[in-house]
């Protein structure tokens, strides 16, 4: 349930479990129903059927019998960006509260139900959603669907649970940020400097004063506003019968009334026209660090797909240009890391995002030296077209990561993509057309995208300085 755990995921964590040759699903929907779709542009396809209940709950089902387990994921369209002013960290705090019991499953009973069946469960909070997921033997599926419906419709929210979980989250902040070398430097502090819109630029782990001020009334209002079926997607993937599973979902979720229309939140960012610099001093760090963030193109545009491949060319893998120049040639650091959406992947967000590069470098090198080499490397992709061979290698690396991390035991990556494409695009079958955008990227598009989005005036540089070091 911690935020920090996801930093190691990136695109490689998109485990496309349940990838299999296309089959005729034969789905018969009893609700408002989009046709079962199986359009593909690769040799793999994921079985997808998509439905909407009368209360607005979107349902995605994917049948695959290779492993006798089922993965259930419920995604709510509320994340860090939706937090009210003065209540930073509230989305994550509320994620914790939803584990504290419901009308028919008092505190601890939900976990006992999962673990007693031999399953696992967890949840997470991200920029644009909060999710809850379980993996159980397929013969326990009906009980889990009932339990998730009970949690959505009738959670137990009381003062003692709020106080308890507030302390849990406070401890997370101390363990993962305040008492951790480099803390939230690259995934909390950098976006706060780079973005202008408060919804993108506040401390989403939570200022301690805001966490302390959160009340039970705040929690109930947050639940009433965002935790409604018309703001949710449920995905069930694995060893299931789709008709039977859809029947259970209708049976257990249909009584929950749709919520009021969601408030419109403007999360847009102005075009950045000047380079930004900032620094933080870290008493716990033993080496300086550097993070650079560039504003991304809008999700789903041709430039967006080009930036995903630019990420492969510049950062991902030992053969990436920045790894070669900063690590192999100059020896500034032992590694370079980064990517698009460090708290998830390049697909599971909706709104402004940064492409980020970070490194922890040796103290003998100055920021100007490191930035000089980084600038020279990035300018190379802005001023000279990449070759067709380089671009093809980038596509191959991307798809190798994408398909090579298939996890048939959990299907976490699969359900994440299905839920994200349903929530943000109203099209979970997009998972089967995921390569189309990359196939359209040309060397010319890469260069024009780099010229606009990798310009120095579109970036923010954040240093981590050692406490008392005045040499930078």
All residues at 6 or more sequence positions from 92 whose CB lies less than 8 Å from its CB, including other chains: 3, 80, 125, 169, 204, 205, 206
Q: Are residues 144 and 280 in the same domain?
A: no
What average pLDDT score do residues 370-383 get?
Answer: 98
Q: Are residues 24 and 123 in the same domain?
A: yes
Q: How many folded domains does the chain comprise?
A: 2
Q: Are the CB atoms for 362 and 333 separated by under 8 Å?
A: yes
Q: Are residues 324 and 452 in the same domain?
A: yes
What domain range is 304 assigned to?
276-409+433-466
Q: Are residues 283 and 212 in the same domain?
A: no
Q: Are residues 282 and 243 in the same domain?
A: no
Give yes or no for residue 3 having a pLDDT over 80. no
Q: Considering the domain boundaries, does residue 351 fall inside one?
A: yes
Burial of residue 104 (CB within 10 Å: 0-12, 13-18, 19+) is middle
- Which pLDDT does position 263 carry in this prediction? 87
Integer Cα distance of 16 and 45 in angstroms = 10
Residue where one domain finishes, among candidates 253, 286, 319: 253
For residue range 258-291, what is the model confidence (pLDDT) as tens digits? 999 998 899 999 999 999 999 999 999 999 999 9
Integer Cα distance of 62 and 84 in angstroms = 35
- Which pLDDT does position 465 carry in this prediction? 97
CATH code, 370: 3.30.830.10
Q: Considering the domain boundaries, does residue 110 fall inside one?
A: yes
Q: Are residues 319 and 225 in the same domain?
A: no
Radius of gyration in angstroms for the set of CA atoms belonging to the chain, rounded to a whole number = 23
- Split at pLDDT 50, 70, 90, the class of 408 is low
Q: Considering the domain boundaries, does residue 268 fall inside one?
A: no
Q: Are residues 215 and 285 in the same domain?
A: no
The SS3 call for residue 460 is strand
Give yes or no for residue 95 having a pLDDT over 80. yes
Q: Are residues 238 and 309 in the same domain?
A: no
Give yes or no for residue 89 having a pLDDT over 50. yes
Q: Are residues 457 and 312 in the same domain?
A: yes
pTM for the whole thing?
A: 0.90
Integer Cα distance of 364 and 341 in angstroms = 30
Q: Considering the domain boundaries, does residue 233 fall inside one?
A: yes
Question: Rounded to whole angstroms, what are the CA distances from 379 to 321, 324, 431, 447?
Answer: 11, 15, 33, 10
All residues at 6 or more sequence positions from 343 whose CB lies less than 8 Å from its CB, including other chains: 3, 6, 7, 126, 127, 187
């Amino acid at each position: 349930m911690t935020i920090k755990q996801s930093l190691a995921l990136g695109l490689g964590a998109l485990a496309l479990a349940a990838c299999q040759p296309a089959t005729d699903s034969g789905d018969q929907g009893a609700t408002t129903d989009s046709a079962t779709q199986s359009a593909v542009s690769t040799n793999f396809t994921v079985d997808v059927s998509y439905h909407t209940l009368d209360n607005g709950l979107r349902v995605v089902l994917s049948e695959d019998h290779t492993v006798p387990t089922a993965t259930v994921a419920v995604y709510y369209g509320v994340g860090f960006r939706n937090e009210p002013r003065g209540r930073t960290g509230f989305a994550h705090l509320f994620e914790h509260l939803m584990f504290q019991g419901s009308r028919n499953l008092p505190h601890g009973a939900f976990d006992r139900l999962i673990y007693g069946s031999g399953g696992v469960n967890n949840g997470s909070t991200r920029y644009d959603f909060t999710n809850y997921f379980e993996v159980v033997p397929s013969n326990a599926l009906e009980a889990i669907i009932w339990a998730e419906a009970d949690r959505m419709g009738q959670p137990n929210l009381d003062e003692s649970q709020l106080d308890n979980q507030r302390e849990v989250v406070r401890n997370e902040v101390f363990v993962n940020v305040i008492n951790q070398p480099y803390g939230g430097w690259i995934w909390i502090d950098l976006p706060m400097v780079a973005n202008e819109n408060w919804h993108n630029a506040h401390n989403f782990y939570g200022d301690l004063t805001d966490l302390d001020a959160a009340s039970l009334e705040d929690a109930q209002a947050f639940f009433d506003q965002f935790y409604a079926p018309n703001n949710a997607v449920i995905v069930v993937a694995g060893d299931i019968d789709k008709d039977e599973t859809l029947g259970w979902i209708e049976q257990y979720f249909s009584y929950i009334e749709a919520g009021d229309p969601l408030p419109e939140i403007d999360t847009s960012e102005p075009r950045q026209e000047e380079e930004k610099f900032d620094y933080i001093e870290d008493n716990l760090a033993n080496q300086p660090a550097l993070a650079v963030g560039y504003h991304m193109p809008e999700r789903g545009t041709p430039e967006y797909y080009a930036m995903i491949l630019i990420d492969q060319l510049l950062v991902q893998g030992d053969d990436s240009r920045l790894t070669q120049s900063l690590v192999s040639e100059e020896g500034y650091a032992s590694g370079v890391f980064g990517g698009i959406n460090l708290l998830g992947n390049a697909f599971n967000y909706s709104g402004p995002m940064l492409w980020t590069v970070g490194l922890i470098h040796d103290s003998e090198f100055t920021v100007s030296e490191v930035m000089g080499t980084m600038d020279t490397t990035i300018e190379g992709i802005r001023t000279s077209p990449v070759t067709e061979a380089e671009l093809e290698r980038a596509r191959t690396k991307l798809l190798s990561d994408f398909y090579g991390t298939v996890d048939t035991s959990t299907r976490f990556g699969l359900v994440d993509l299905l839920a994200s494409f349903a929530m943000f695009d109203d099209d979970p079958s997009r998972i089967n057309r995921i390569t189309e955008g990359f196939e359209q990227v040309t060397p010319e598009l890469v260069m024009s995208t780099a010229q606009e989005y990798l310009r120095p005036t579109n970036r923010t540089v954040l240093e981590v300085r050692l406490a008392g070091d005045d040499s930078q």
